[in-house]
Amino acid sequence: MSKWLFFWIIILIPALSWAIEVGGHITEDTVWSPENNPYHVVEDLYVDEGVTLRIEPGTIVEMKSAELLYPTQIGSWYWDNSGTARAKMIWVDGRILAEGTEQDSIVFTRDVNRQFYRWGCIFVSENSEELSVFKHCKVLFPLFISPTGFESYDGISAASGSLMIENCLFQNVQTAIDIHGSLDNCLIKGNTFQITERNDIRDYISYIYFNNGFNSDLTYIVGNTFERTDSSSAVGISIGSLGSKPIALVDNRFQGQVTLRLQGSDEPTYIYNNQFLDARHSIMFISRFEADTIYIHQNHLEIDPDFYGYGIEADFSYVDIADNDFYRCGIDMYASSGNVYNNYVYDDVIRSWTSSVYNNIVCYSSYYGYSMRLETPMFSNNISYFNRFVFSSLPSTVKNCILIGSESVNEFNNFYNTHRFQNCVIDFALQDSLIDGGGNIWEDPLFVDAENGDFHLLPNSPAIDAGFDTTAGYYPFFDMDYHERIFNDIIDIGVFEYGAPSLGTLRGYTLTTQNGEPVDYVLLKINNQDGWFEFSDSSGYYEFKLPTGTYDLHAERVFYDNAVTSGIEVEAGQITEVDIDLFSLVNV
């Protein structure tokens, strides 16, 4: 292809500032610098295969935009027969390195600073085989480009190569990041997504969208902030049917309407230590396939008190839900298998029909605390405290639970099957279909301070050493504090084991081999088991709670070589410190 890159100087009215107009094909490595600000993209700009467009800190790129005030104007973003649209884009067959700094951002924005004007997108095409990077960029007012009338490329889109987007601001977008096809690696980290100028013509917002069929060897979406929007259909992250690749959603902050939707992956998905604040409808929708595995650990979820919605809705997957806090929202798992444990739910319900449910607290629900089925594999060591009703429907067996303060067992006190209660602290009668399996206690369990959320047992609690069957081996090895679950040879009733020693602590930092700097958000797995994991935090610090034993610790992160440290000895009640070195594969 011939080179068609125009540079000429014009006077912009009324700003009276210089500008360089650009468009066409870049056929050799090119650098844009702030000395030539602004760059005005007046025609679609193509970065050809094998070519790098490097954009320096402080550079301003103004994209030719079009007005979207009426539905009939949407055609300005569709290619016509000549392969162009009124709104312009940057098409990358090579690579783009747009690396700003915290002090000097790179700006991609519209050329007409008026409401309802939008430009096209930046698209890293299926011809790209290299790493494209966007750091400390401001991506303002993009919309999309649709070459076929069906598929569209939005905001920053990518279909091949590798993609790194860090510490950028995406403002007034329909879709900020749009992933198609197969990427080698993908890192979306530390970005902020916000809407300050609403456009009712394109009201649906999906800040990050992964199309069906997307594949990446490893995808990290970490440390981002998705700000509140008034849109009634805003999705922070929407992930379509993936291939056989893992994905990690870690330490993100979702505010207001923004939610999370997932569908389909053969490899584990990790949803870890995210915050979902003041949501106005259900927060997390998981509609997957039966072979899928999703781990949802250490998240905080809350619904705006003036609205209603579920915290987690999941169907047809193996879902492991642990160590989460739910406020005015809960868990809804009709057809998913897995485990639900160590969760705290305030004013809502845990509904789980085919998963094991243990070490959970549900309190002050305006309706019922738990909804189980006869086929629920395990319902043990849970607490129901002052919910209106304990259950909507019951499991076949209830063991080692504290169930007090409700009007009745369920709303109508009608039971169509028998349900056995064993070694529980309760304040209701067991009669008719509710079978007394022995060991039940009708006394105050004596919590430390339940009204303020402390459900630990006082020293004279009748629930201490009063549980059922500590020899069967099916109880987990930990309580809700990650202390030893069985102490003095007999399990306690409830979620906490009184006086039990802590499990062993394995902790340390994940560091870069080349310079010793911390590596954030590393996935660490004990004995390479997908479900026995933690992530290091933004400072590189990690911590496990483990029973006495010898372990191998596996570490992996996007853009780093995997690492393994073997033969780590851990003892209960003791601290073992191990730092993990990882070799960086990129130097951008």
Strand partners, 67: 117
- Residues 49-93: pLDDT tens digits? 999 999 999 999 999 998 887 666 766 767 665 567 888 999 999
Q: What are phi and psi of 485, to 5 degrees?
A: -75, -35
- Residues 188-240: pLDDT tens digits? 999 999 888 765 545 567 788 887 555 666 789 999 999 876 655 667 788 76
Between β-strands 383-385 and 389-391, what pairing exists: parallel, antiparallel or unpaired? Answer: unpaired
- Residues 456-488: pLDDT tens digits? 999 999 999 999 976 656 678 899 999 999 888
Query: What is the helix, strand, coil percentage profile of the chain, to 5?
Result: 5, 45, 50
What gap in Å lies between CA 206 and CA 238, rounded to an integer? 7
Q: Which of 15-29, 67-81, 290-304, 378-392 ranks highest by mean pLDDT?
A: 378-392
> Who has greater pLDDT, 286 or 456?
456
Cβ proximity of 379 and 357 under 8 Å = yes
Q: Which of 10-19, 218-227, 331-340 ranks highest by mean pLDDT?
A: 218-227
3-state secondary structure of 71: helix
Domain ranges in the chain are 504-582
- Provide CB contacts within 8 A for 85, sequence distance 6+: 44, 66, 76, 77, 78, 79, 120, 145, 146
3-state secondary structure of 312: strand
Is the CATH number 2.60.40.1120 carried by domain 504-582? yes
- Residues 392-429: pLDDT tens digits? 999 999 999 999 999 999 988 778 889 999 999 999 99
Residue 13 confidence (pLDDT): 40
What gap in Å lies between CA 557 and CA 554, rounded to an integer? 11
> Who has greater pLDDT, 152 or 347?
347
